[in-house]
Chains A and B, each alone.
Chain A
Amino acid sequence: MDNGRDFENLVAEYYEPLYQFAFSLTREEAGACDLVQQAFCVWAAKGHQLRDASKVKTWLFTTLHREFLGLRRRQTRFPHLELEFAGAELPVIEPVATSRLDTDLVLATLAALDEAHQAPVALFYLQDYSYKEIAEILGVPLGTVKSRLARGLERLHRLLTDQKVPPHQKPVSEEKDDL
C-alpha cells in the first residue's frame, strides 16, 4: 500500500482526526504535529504488515497513542525546565483565538483527569468510536474501556460544571479500573 499515491490519500483522509486526538493528548501544536507525522512515518515503514485494510484507521490511532506514551516516558526521564528558567528559549506564540478558549478549557479539564482516562475520553468524543474499537486502539480489555469511560466522563463533566480546573492541575488519582 505504500506507493506514493496511496500514502497521500491516507494522509488526506486521516491527518485531521489524528491531529485532533494528538492535540487533545498534548494540548500543544508542535507536539501534536510531531505525533501525527511520526504515526505516518511508522505507517510508511511497517504499514505493509497490516493484512486487514479496514483496520488502517485503528492502526494509525494505536500507533499515535503508543508514540505519545513513549514520548511521555522520555519526558519523565528528562523532566522539562520550569518556565521561569527557560523563558528566553520559548518561541513567540500568537494570542489564542477567542473561539478556542472553550476548547482550551475542555482540554485542560481532560488533562486534569487520571492519565489512563484521558485517551479513552478523547476518542469517545472525537471519533464516535465504538467501545470495542477504543479498546483495540488502546490495547486494553473492553471492560476496562467501559469503566474508564464511566469514571473519566463523570469527572470531566463534574469538573466542567464546577469550572475550577487550572490549566496545569495535576491528574487526580483514582481507584483501580474494573476489568
Chain B
Amino acid sequence: MNRDEAEKLLRRYRPGTSDAEDPQIAEALALAGSDPELGRWLAKQGAQQDRVRQQFRKITAPAGLRAQIISEHRARRNLIFWRRPSILLAAAAALAVLIGLPFWLRPHPPEGAGFAVYQRQMAALALRGYGMDVITNDPVPIRAYLAQNQAPADYRLPAALQQAGLAGCAIENWQGTKISMLCFRTGRPLSNGALSDLWLFVIDETALRGAPAGPSPQFTKISRLTAAVWRQDGKLYLLATTADEPTLRRFL
C-alpha cells in the first residue's frame, strides 16, 4: 500500500469507532504510524472531519416536533381503535342487543298459553271474516298455491273431511310462521255472505308451545266455535266450526 492509497482509505476513518477494525484501514493506519508525512496528513484530516462533524451535529429538531409526532400518533390510534374489526363487531353486537331488547323484554305468555292464544286468534279470524286467497273446490290448485307460498301443503286430511265441500284457502301468519287455512262447508245453511263454516288450520308443530300431544283429536270450545285439535307428522291441526260437536265429529 502506498501513501496515496492509504490517504484514500483514511478519508473514511473515524478515530474511536469500529472503522479501525477494517483490515485495509488498519493497514493504512499502520503506514501512517511509520510515515511522518502521512501521519501529519491524517492529523489534519482528522481535525477537518471534526469540524464538519460538529456542523452536522448542530442540527437540532424544532421545538414541538416530538410532541406533534406523539399527538398525531394518539389521534391516529384513536381512529384506528374504532376501525378495529373486534371493536366494530362488538359495536354491531351491542346494536343488535339494543334493537332486540324490546322483543326480549316484552311480556311473554306463560308456558302453555301459546296454544291458547293461537286458538283464540284462529277462532277470531274465522268468526270475524277473512279473505280467501284461492276460491275453488279443487284440492289440487289449493295444495299447489300453499306449496308455492311456503305454507304447509303436505297436510293429511281425515277421510271424512275429504268428503266435505271444499271452498278455498288462505295463508295466515302466527308469529312469523305460515298457517294454511282450508275452508270447507258442513252442508248446513250458511249465514249471509259466508262462504264456509268449517275451517282447518295447519301449522308446523314446533311453532307452538303447550299444544295437545297425540294424533287423537281433542275437542274444545273456543268462543262460539267447536274445535278439535290433533298432531300428525310434525303438524298441528285445528279444525273448527260454528256447528256443534257431533257435527264436527262427522268430519274426523
Contacts and interface: CB of A to CB of B under 8 A. Distances in A.
B58 A99 contact: yes
A37 B69 contact: yes
B11 A154 contact: yes
A36 B59 contact: no
Interface string A155-172: 011001100000000000
Which of B12, B60, B70, B73 counts the most A-chain CB atoms under 10 A from its CB?
B12
A15 B8 contact: no
B74 to A, nearest CB: 7
A3 to B, nearest CB: 9
Interface string B100-128: 00000000000000000000000000000
Which of B9, B18, B49, B61 counts the most A-chain CB atoms under 10 A from its CB?
B61
A130 B59 contact: no
A71 interface: no
Given A8-B70, A20-B57, A37-B72, A150 B11 contact: yes
B70 A44 contact: no
Interface in B66-106: 66, 68-70, 72-74, 76-77
Which of B18, B19, B57, B73 counts the most A-chain CB atoms under 10 A from its CB?
B73
Which of B52, B68, B69 counts the most A-chain CB atoms under 10 A from its CB?
B69
A15 B58 contact: no
A56 interface: no
Contacts of A19: 59-61, 65
Interface string A135-179: 000000000001001100110110011000000000000000000
A15 B11 contact: no
Nearest to A20: B59
A36 B17 CA distance: 26
Which of A20, A99, A125, A146 counts the most B-chain CB atoms under 10 A from its CB?
A125
Contact of B76 (A20, A44, A105, A106): A44
Interface string B1-28: 0000000110110100111001000000
Main secondary structure of the interface of B (DSSP, over half): helix
A44 B78 CA distance: 13
B162 interface: no
Contacts of A124: 12, 14
Interface string A30-45: 0001001100110010
A106 B55 contact: yes
Contacts of B49: 125
A178 B12 CA distance: 15
Contacts of A12: 66
A149 B70 CA distance: 35
18 contacts: A4-B74, A7-B73, A16-B61, A19-B60, A20-B57, A20-B61, A33-B65, A40-B69, A41-B72, A41-B76, A99-B58, A103-B59, A106-B55, A128-B14, A130-B17, A149-B11, A149-B12, A150-B11
Given A11-B66, A11-B70, A16-B61, 8 more contacts: A4-B77, A11-B69, A41-B72, A44-B76, A99-B58, A103-B55, A107-B55, A128-B17
Interface of B: 8-9, 11-12, 14, 17-19, 22, 45, 48-49, 52-53, 55-62, 65-66, 68-70, 72-74, 76-77
Interface of A: 4, 7-8, 11-12, 15-16, 19-20, 23-24, 29, 33, 36-37, 40-41, 44, 99-100, 102-103, 105-107, 122, 124-126, 128, 130-131, 146, 149-150, 153-154, 156-157, 160-161
